């Protein structure tokens, strides 16, 4: 600018290409879970969760695994214990506190949470080949737990959370 003596202007037309129409560029996962359901008490505890993910180039394996296991814990909550209880008479949430809205605690974590990242080179998604690893962490685990409960008990529960009273 100092040399030319006037501001430099440039304009560019930028719009997405048609790559998304020609290629699927999502991250993928497959989740399996093993649960134990007490036949008398109908308490469900998760023993093991195994997840395999194809999510492009994994930049940081340590934090990527942490994101996964964090999601697994979150979905144990969704599957087995979390429920906002709304009083239909006035719309007020009756369990708006940590004592009654149960999120998973340490003891709910399964002994084994196995995460595998399938090697995946995606030349289309972007030059680095990286994909998002956020939401996929929490997708599929609750379904796997529901399926495992069905496998264990023969009961298909279609309304979460799967609490003991739904298995009686």
Partner 1 sequence: MHPFILERPRDLSAALALRAQAGRDDAPIEYIAGGTDMMQLLQEDVRKPERLVSLAGLLDNGIDIGPQGLRLGAAATMAEVAAHPAVAGQFPVISEALLASASPQVRNQATMGGNVLQRTRCPYFRDVGYAACNKRSLGSGCAAIGGENRWNAVLGASDHCIAAHPSDLAVALVALGASVKVRGAAGERAVALEDFHRLPADTPHIETVLEPGEVIAAITVPAHPAARRSHYLKLRDRASFEFALVSPAVALDMDGPQIREARVALGGVGAKPWRVPKVEAALAGAGLDDRAALRKAAPCRRPAARCARRRSRAAGRMILPRPWIASASRSRLRWT
Partner 2 sequence: MDGKRVKSCLNLAALAEGHEITTIEGLAQGEELHPLQAGFIERDGFQCGYCTSGQIMSGVACINEGHTGSPAEIREWMSSNLCRCGCYDNIVAAIQDAAVSMKGG
Give the residues lining the site for partner 1 (CB under 8 A).
38, 40-43, 45, 80-81, 85-87, 89, 92, 94-97, 99-100, 102, 104-108, 161, 163-165, 168
Pairing between β-strand 112-117 and β-strand 44-54 as defined by DSSP bridges: parallel
Q: How many residues does the chain have?
A: 168
DSSP, residue by residue, 109-154: S-SEEEEEE-----TTT-TT-B---SGGGGSSHHHHHHHHHHHHHS
Could you say whether residue 107 binds partner 2 (CB under 8 A)?
yes
Catalytic residue list contains 159: no
Per CB under 8 A, the list member of 52, 109, 139, 143 interacting with partner 2 is 109
Cβ atoms within 10 Å of 162's Cβ, excluding its own: 25
Smallest distance, partner 2 to C-beta of residue 72, A: 7
Smallest distance, partner 2 to C-beta of residue 81, A: 12
Task: Point out which residues bind partner 2 (CB under 8 A).
Answer: 62-63, 65-67, 69-74, 98, 103-107, 109, 111, 113
């Amino acid at each position: 600018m100092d040399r030319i003596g006037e501001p430099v202007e440039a304009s560019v037309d930028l719009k997405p290409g048609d790559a998304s129409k020609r290629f699927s560029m999502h991250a993928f996962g497959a989740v399996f879970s093993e649960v134990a359901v007490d036949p008398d008490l109908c308490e469900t505890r998760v023993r093991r969760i195994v997840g395999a993910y194809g999510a492009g180039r994994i930049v940081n394996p340590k934090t990527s695994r942490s994101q996964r296991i964090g999601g697994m814990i979150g979905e144990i909550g969704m599957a087995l214990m979390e429920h906002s209880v709304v009083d239909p008479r006035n719309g007020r949430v009756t369990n708006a506190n940590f004592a009654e809205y149960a999120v998973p605690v340490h003891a709910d974590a399964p002994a084994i949470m196995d995460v595998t990242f399938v090697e995946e080179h995606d030349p289309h998604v972007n030059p680095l080949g990286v994909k998002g690893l956020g939401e996929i962490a929490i997708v599929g685990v609750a379904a796997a737990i529901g399926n495992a409960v069905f496998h264990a008990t023969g009961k298909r529960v279609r309304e979460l959370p799967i609490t003991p009273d739904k298995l009686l």
